Amino acid sequence: MFADLRFLADLPLFPPTASSIAHDVDQLYFFLVAVSGVMTILIFAAVIYFAFKYHRSRHPHPTQIEGSTKLELTWSILPFLIMLVMFWWGTKLFFRNAQPPADAMEIFVTGKQWMWKIQYPDGGREINELHVAVGQPVKMTMASEDVIHSFYIPAFRVKHDVVPGHYDTIWFTPTKPGHYHLFCTEYCGNQHASMIGWVDVLDQQQYAEWQSGAGTQGTMAEQGQKQFEQLGCATCHLLDQQGRGPNLRGLYNKPVLLADGRIVLADDGYIRESILDPNAKIVANFQPGIMPVFKGQVTEEGVMQLIAFVKSLSPNTPASQQGSQQPPIVIAPQAGGGPAPTSNSNASKTPANAQRK
Ligand code: CUA
């Protein structure tokens, strides 16, 4: 429908185009610029033309004009149609950009004044450096430890605010090996300008070599398991039977029935909330107030590791699988298996609390 404007993106004025969506974002951008440019020229031309045409030297006694329906319809309907094209085009791109493919590799980012901390599933960690492979779709799960940051890779045409209190996600498929800028684009304090880094796009073989050096502390899931034990989670969330807290095996990305009758998906965001603010959503058949609040006890990076551990208890469940069609898991405390849920007054005596002096 529209002329191919790709050649414009190769002008040195623009950042490199190095992801599968970059050209499409540019085309929409150039369309918006073209429409704005044409409208600006038309409006200025009309202003100048009428200024001369109706100059008072030629029209000393102006006559009243009562309007023109035809003209008014034209200048209403035409812009409306152009806006509809912008809306349709933008929405199409937005939805494409919002749904990571099922085979996307997961990488985790934590924004912190003033650095980007990257975690890979194999346990590797970096600061202000991101390594990805050409052709491999990547889904980034992002959290903030303090204030609002914004994760921006101009060469990939992806940018997303990273808001404290929940997860934000983006995805991209790098298409060209290279060394690209990574920015924070939300003012986040006096060192905001130094919250920058690099993205290295490697070919498949280089990436395999690079990966082999990572993960000296075990995978993210193994690091998560260590925390799970240190924080005392294992005392109530028994992994072989039903304990005082819900059994976490097979839970990840499955629908869960809550005490108030709602059904929620046990995705990353739900598990994060359940760790930091356990009373926000109480699972059916369990008592509120038993689990200690871990807000302030675990870092966002630690929460991501705990989630990786919970995920590892549900093998064969890809992160992008939508579980909303499945029947909800109803977790019932087992008769005779483990201590029964008790009242709130016992909350402070849980071993988990005792460990965190
Ligand atoms: Cu983080 Cu600006």
Which helix (H) or strand (E) element contains residue 236?
Answer: helix 233-236
Kindly give the number of the ligand 1 atom that is closest to the alpha carbon of 148: 1
Q: Using an 8 Å Cβ cutoff, are 317 and 266 in contact?
A: no
* DSSP output for 269-297: HHHHHHHH-GGGSPBTTS-TT-SPP-BTT
pLDDT for res 335: 41
- Give CA–CA dist 112/129, Å, rounded: 14
Kindly give the number of the ligand 1 atom that is closest to the alpha carbon of 186: 2
pLDDT for res 299: 83
- Name residues of the chain where pLDDT drops below 70: 1-3, 5-12, 212-216, 316-357
Helices (H) and strands (E) in the chain, counts: 9, 12
| 150 Cα to the center of ligand 1, angstroms | 6
pLDDT for res 8: 65
Q: Please state at what angle helix 300-312 crosses helix 220-230, rounded to 10 degrees.
A: 100
Tokens representing residue 333 in the block = 């405390």
pLDDT for res 63: 80
pLDDT for res 318: 56
> What would the pLDDT profile of 245-290 be if each residue is shown by its tens digit?
777 777 788 787 777 878 888 788 888 888 887 777 777 777 777 7
In short, whether 275's Cβ falls inside 6 Å of ligand 1 is no
Q: What is the model's pTM?
A: 0.71
Q: How many CA atoms lie within 13 A of 183 on its CB side?
A: 14
In short, whether 188's Cβ falls inside 6 Å of ligand 1 is yes
| 141 Cα to the center of ligand 1, angstroms | 17
pLDDT for res 327: 59
Kindly give the number of the ligand 1 atom that is closest to the alpha carbon of 188: 2
| 187 Cα to the center of ligand 1, angstroms | 5
- Give CA–CA dist 335/252, Å, rounded: 24
pLDDT for res 186: 93
pLDDT for res 329: 63
pLDDT for res 27: 92
In short, whether 149's Cβ falls inside 6 Å of ligand 1 is yes
pLDDT for res 355: 36
